[in-house]
Amino acid sequence: MKGNFIASLVVASCLAIPGIALANTPPIRITYVSSWQSSNIETHIVGKLIQEKMHLPVRLISTEAGPMWASVAKGSADLTVTAWLPYTQKQYWQRFQHQVVNLGPITTGTWAGLAVPSYVPVHSLSQLEHYHHNFNGRIIGIGDGAGVMITTREAIKAYGMHHMHLLASSTPAMEAQVARSVARKKWVVFTCWKPLGIWAKFHLRPLADPKNIYGKPGNIDAVINPELKHTHPALVKFLGKVNIPLPEVQAMMVEKQDGKPMTEIVQKWITSHQAEVASWLKA
């Protein structure tokens, strides 16, 4: 795990509720990828709702995509709301599908693939090899274990990109490289997805994928360890109802990039969706 970093949500509001003995209640362990802004935001929203509305202690466990799936499958974590399915993280689903339970999407309409700034006259993955000199033979990527990285390696082979090489970095580093390139009107191609705040900052073009290597638009699902159905059935029912629209996730990502504290972003969203949250909590 990424430094075995564990971020626990503050439980002061839970402790203030009469008759609730949190000290002896095992926390709900939610695993996520904190370097992915959508994962960070959605996990904090769900965690705060579980903590404040269901009065359960919560522990957030930050890691990478592979260990995230493995920990839910093995039971060292209870759930994740960062399962990009059915395409982006298909390799993890294929490996762990018999050890986890998919409760369905919390965000729909996701997309993953490669993108370029709109001033670059490239429209398809099939064109990248032809223009490899313009791109200096580089595709700017993110963390090695991310589903989009694994699929991009498949795309490089499928489209015969013999002179294009995928560079691993991180999401912030990728976005910084894109910003520098756009400022200088330089050619750049990079791994990209929706939701991602960068779409609101620059004019970008998703590249067509005629061979359908990346798959069609998908979802971000809630995936749990099967034991949670027995220990916390009400929580499982609640998770199956949660819905955070993609445009709203993207807007919150921009707020986070602009320096707004996570606590304010999360509280603002919950406050503006009280009716929906109340409906999710109904038995």
Please list the residue range(s) of the chain that carry CATH number 3.40.190.100. 111-206
Q: In Å, how far are 92, 193, 225 from 113, measured between CA atoms?
A: 18, 6, 29
Helix (H, G, I), strand (E, B) or coil at 133: coil
Residue 19 has pLDDT above 50, yes or no: no
| Alpha carbons 268 and 61: distance in angstroms, whole number | 23
The 10s digit of each residue's pLDDT in 54-97 is 999 999 999 999 999 999 999 999 999 999 999 889 999 999 99
Token pair in block for residue 187: 């050619």
Q: In Å, how far are 82, 117, 196, 250 from 182, measured between CA atoms?
A: 29, 7, 17, 20
pLDDT at 193: 94
Please list the residue range(s) of the chain that carry CATH number 3.40.190.10. 6-109+217-281
| Alpha carbons 209 and 213: distance in angstroms, whole number | 7
Q: What is the pTM of this model?
A: 0.79
Q: How confident is the model at residue 23 (pLDDT cuts 50, 70, 90)?
A: low
Q: How confident is the model at residue 22 (pLDDT cuts 50, 70, 90)?
A: low
pLDDT at 88: 87
- The shares of helix, strand and coil residues in the chain, as percent rounded to the nearest 5, are 40, 20, 40
Residue 148 has pLDDT above 70, yes or no: yes
Helix-helix angle 274-281:262-271, to 10 degrees: 80
Q: Confirm if 276 and 241 have CB atoms less than 8 A apart.
A: no
* Average pLDDT for the chain: 91
Report the CATH fold assignment for 111-206.
Answer: D-Maltodextrin-Binding Protein; domain 2 (3.40.190)
pLDDT at 11: 31
The 10s digit of each residue's pLDDT in 167-191 is 999 988 999 999 999 999 999 999 9
Q: In Å, how far are 38, 232, 237, 252, 281 from 241, measured between CA atoms?
A: 18, 15, 7, 21, 9
CATH numeric code, 6-109+217-281: 3.40.190.10
Residue 20 has pLDDT above 90, yes or no: no
Residue 110 has pLDDT above 70, yes or no: yes
